[in-house]
Amino acid sequence: MNPRAALRRRRRRNASRLVRRTAATVLGTQLATAAGLLAFDTIRRRDRPDREFPRAPARALPVPGGEVRVFTYGEDLFADMLADIAAAKHRVFFETYIWKGDAVGERFRDALVAAHERGVEVYVVFDEFANLVVPRSFYASLPDGIHVLRHPLVSGGPTFFMPHNWGRNHRKLLVVDDTAAYVGGYNIGGLYATKWRDTHARFAGEIVVELENAFVDYWNDQGGRPVLPQPRRRTWSHTTRVQRNVPVDHVYPIRNMYLEAIDRAQHHIYLTQAYLIPDAAFTRSLVNSALRGVDVQIIVPHYSNHILADWVSRVSYHKLLEAGVRLLRFENAMVHAKTATIDGVWSTIGTANIDRLSLAGNFEVNMEILDPEVAAHLERVFELDSGNCTELTLQQWTERPLINRVTEGILSPWRPLL
């Protein structure tokens, strides 16, 4: 063999070996870092006492064609949801990401069974992956007459490897007759009743049919049986719109809804987010708003229920803080709300987080509301929540320990996945 050719071959083998070893070392370091953070978080949660957090009473707000009632405490929300199910006469559409098999979960199961037994048509959707830890017997106890659709662990058949088939059903919907429709961040379980700060809304009036349509479309498109008829009437509301992410159809309007609203802001932007992992365009939009003098404030959990998401989210902090965005960290409880209000005019309440999984991955639904009274109420809620926050300043951020910077750098390649 030609000596030069042999030398080139050896160099290629050595380079390939070096690349593999480097990749293995990087991945091993990332996994070890993640494992250490998860262990730390387990200890922190065990030693953290439960504390009260401020909450606003549920309040019904009139909007053209109906009303909106905003909930910020799980027990209040669950009581009204169960009351509406108990009053159902014709049908109940119930859709949730997490449905725990605890006492609260059993109350909802029993309410749905009771509705079915008195002749109400009951349709149930939940995400298979999110409920892997729930005993199968909990769902098996639903009678055959209740129509159940499990969002599968894997979908798409032969094309399951395509990213648009990986989306989870992260939606939380309840539609009762033509009477009421609920949407927001609350999952179903005892943890969410008293220990998490979240936001949900109950809609009454003409907009109910739009959330009914959102459920019907998902049910039929995902193979639910029996096939549901489309609503006989729809609405062209000028104040309230349903925005739905449908990954199997490559439809993601919620991200654009946010970007359009942020770019229109003239005075203030108040965001409350469980997991803040904005992409480059979203970060740029927030930064540009702050630089042109808009008061941009974002509430996030100081420590969320996903510690890796906390660390990955920090990659964008320097740009945001340097531009004048105020980051407020909610203390002593998990804040899980997905809300925003801008300029006393525009608001949204829904299921989508500001991260890739929600904005370009999962099935999500958000309500977009153009109403000054709803915006004013959400501003009051934001002010109340702000009193339970500590602000992260640019100086504090730039003076954070070196170990924090190293950890953020190790985990930052995972950001596109979250």
> What's the burial of 329, exposed, middle or buried (CB within 10 Å: 0-12/13-18/19+)?
middle
Q: What is the pLDDT of residue 163?
A: 78
Count of C-beta atoms within a 10 Å radius of residue 381: 22
Q: What is the pLDDT of residues 123-182, one digit of tens each?
A: 999 999 999 999 999 999 999 999 999 999 888 777 777 777 889 999 999 999 999 999
Q: Are 200 and 182 in contact (CB under 8 A)?
A: yes
Measuring CA to CA, which residue among 369, 46, 36, 332 is closest to residue 183? 369
Query: Residue 58 and residue 368: Cα distance in Å, rounded?
Result: 19
Q: Provide the 3-class DSSP secondary structure of residue 249.
A: helix
End-to-end alpha carbon distance in the chain = 50
- For the chain, the domains span 59-240, 248-414
Query: Residue 347 and residue 341: Cα distance in Å, rounded?
Result: 4
318-321 long-range contacts, Cβ below 8 Å, gap at least 24?
318/394, 318/397, 318/398, 319/283, 319/287, 320/283, 320/286, 320/287, 320/290, 320/296, 321/392, 321/393, 321/394, 321/397
Q: In the numeric block, which tokens belong to residue 235?
A: 């609405």
Q: Provide the 3-class DSSP secondary structure of residue 283.
A: helix
CATH code, 248-414 = 3.30.870.10
Q: In the numeric block, which tokens belong to residue 220?
A: 């039929």
* pLDDT, one tens digit for every residue, the chain (418 residues): 566 666 666 666 665 665 566 656 655 665 665 566 455 555 566 656 567 888 889 989 999 999 999 999 999 999 999 999 999 999 999 999 999 999 999 999 999 999 999 999 999 999 999 999 999 999 999 999 999 999 998 887 777 777 778 899 999 999 999 999 999 999 999 999 999 999 999 999 999 999 999 999 999 999 999 999 999 889 999 999 999 999 999 999 999 999 999 999 999 999 999 999 999 999 999 999 999 999 999 999 998 887 777 777 888 999 999 999 999 999 999 999 999 999 999 999 999 999 999 999 999 999 999 999 999 999 999 999 999 999 999 999 898 777 766 666 666 665 666 5
Query: Residue 337 and residue 352: Cα distance in Å, rounded?
Result: 9
Edge-to-edge, what's the strand order for the sheet holding 180-184?
59-63, 66-71, 200-205, 180-184, 173-176, 91-96, 121-127, 147-151
- Topology alike, domains 59-240 and 248-414: yes
Return the CATH class of domain 59-240.
alpha beta
Q: In the numeric block, which tokens belong to residue 340?
A: 């925003």
225-234 long-range contacts, Cβ below 8 Å, gap at least 24?
225/147, 226/147, 228/123, 233/209, 234/209, 234/210
Q: Are 240 and 375 in contact (CB under 8 A)?
A: no
Q: What is the pLDDT of residues 28-75, one digit of tens each?
A: 665 665 566 455 555 566 656 567 888 889 989 999 999 999 999 999
Reduced to 3 DSSP states, what percent helix, strand and coil does the chain have, rounded to the nearest 5? 45, 25, 30
Q: In the numeric block, which tokens belong to residue 402?
A: 């070196």
Q: What is the pLDDT of residue 160?
A: 74
SS (H, E, C) 121-159: EEEEEEECHHHCCCCHHHHHCCCCCCEEEEECCCCCHHH
